[in-house]
A = this chain, B = another copy of it.
Amino acid sequence: MAAPRFRRIAEELIRRIDQGEFSEGEQLPTEVELMNEYNASRNTIRDAIKLLIGRGLVYTSPGRGTFVLKSVEPFALTLTSVNRETSESEAYRFEAKLQGRKAEVSDPRVEIQKADKLVAWALGINEGDRVVIRHQERRIDGRPWSLQTSWYPMAFVTKGAERLIDAEDIVEGVVTYLREKLGIEQVGYRDKITARVPNAYEASFFNLPDSGSTVIVHDRIAYGQDGKPIRLTNTIYPADRNELYIEVGEVPPLHFSKRGGATGNDEGDAARADGARP
């Protein structure tokens, strides 16, 4: 009936972390020390630590040790202010400044490819039509924060928006650029939000642990005044350092002084809910 050994040890360690016995930064005994403390084998200790990693409480570093993670102040990004008309890319810079952080955007890696089925469907073009792909890495205060890839119909370039294929940031925003160059007005967009485990590239760029971490996937299809898609944008946010906000109607301004916002706690609800289970 008792939970397995590594799980009980993990719970005990979580308790010790929560109670502040190990604080942020360095800390946590080495595996060998924990073996002696808990009289368990090294594999069992390692299984317990894997659970802590999965909870996002600690990380390990070969040759150094196991450390309690600093809770990173998450970056709040508002996807939707109905009144503001910025593109998501501009919103990113705007909000970073608002929160007193330094947003950096890498020069884009630009590719021209043939649209696969999904891209063709999203952009309303034919499979095999050429598309411009712009991929950017975005950082905040030097830390990797999100990965963005956008797809545009190649037709935009041939019609005059040549800067789309320059490997240079379009500072005024692509939405603005397309309006000025081609008269295309962005009248709306649909966002899709999902979440999953990071793939190998994402784990490496964001420096995410092998297990237990998650990324938020944000796809946006923006539409022009003729109802046709303008672009497809895919953004990857590591969940441990991002919060996405959506505002509809009239809402009071958001203050960034408070840490966490509303019910961001992992265990509070569970405790309540568990209490009512048979």
Q: Which A residues contact B (CB, under 8 angstroms)?
A: 50, 54-56, 74, 79-80, 82, 109, 111, 113, 116, 118-119, 121-122, 133, 135, 147, 149, 186-197, 199-202, 211-212, 214-217, 219, 221, 223, 227, 232, 234, 236, 239, 242-252, 254, 258, 260-270, 272-274, 276-277
Once A244-B193, A252-B223 are accepted as A-B contacts, the answer to whether A199 and B264 lie under 8 Å apart by CB is: no
A245, B222: Cα distance in complex, Å:
13
Determine if A190 and B247 form an interchain contact, defined as CB atoms under 8 angstroms apart. yes
A265, B232: Cα distance in complex, Å:
14
Residues in B whose Cβ lies below 8 Å from that of A193: 193, 216, 243-246
A217, B214: Cα distance in complex, Å:
12
Determine if A212 and B197 form an interchain contact, defined as CB atoms under 8 angstroms apart. yes
Determine if B262 and A219 form an interchain contact, defined as CB atoms under 8 angstroms apart. yes
Residues in B whose Cβ lies below 8 Å from that of A266: 196, 199
Q: Which of B119, B147, B262 contacts A232 (CB 8 A)?
A: B262
Closest to A261 in B: B192
A190, B252: Cα distance in complex, Å:
9
In this complex, the member of A118, A149, A197, A211 whose beta carbon has the largest number of chain B beta carbons within 10 angstroms is A197
Determine if A239 and B195 form an interchain contact, defined as CB atoms under 8 angstroms apart. yes
Determine if B243 and A194 form an interchain contact, defined as CB atoms under 8 angstroms apart. yes
Residues in B whose Cβ lies below 8 Å from that of A113: 272
Report copies per complex.
2
Determine if B197 and A270 form an interchain contact, defined as CB atoms under 8 angstroms apart. no
Residues in B whose Cβ lies below 8 Å from that of A260: 118
A51, B254: Cα distance in complex, Å:
39
A227, B147: Cα distance in complex, Å:
36
A-B contact pairs, 18 of them (CB 8 A): A50-B211, A79-B246, A82-B248, A113-B272, A118-B265, A135-B273, A187-B250, A188-B248, A188-B249, A189-B247, A189-B249, A192-B262, A193-B245, A193-B246, A194-B244, A199-B266, A201-B269, A232-B262
Nearest-neighbour CB distance to chain B for A272, whole angstroms, equals 7
Residues in B whose Cβ lies below 8 Å from that of A272: 111, 113, 133, 135, 149
A246, B194: Cα distance in complex, Å:
12
Residues in B whose Cβ lies below 8 Å from that of A227: 250, 252
A81, B254: Cα distance in complex, Å:
21
Nearest-neighbour CB distance to chain B for A144, whole angstroms, equals 13
Determine if A223 and B250 form an interchain contact, defined as CB atoms under 8 angstroms apart. yes
Determine if A109 and B276 form an interchain contact, defined as CB atoms under 8 angstroms apart. yes
Determine if A246 and B191 form an interchain contact, defined as CB atoms under 8 angstroms apart. yes
A178, B120: Cα distance in complex, Å:
45
Nearest-neighbour CB distance to chain B for A238, whole angstroms, equals 9
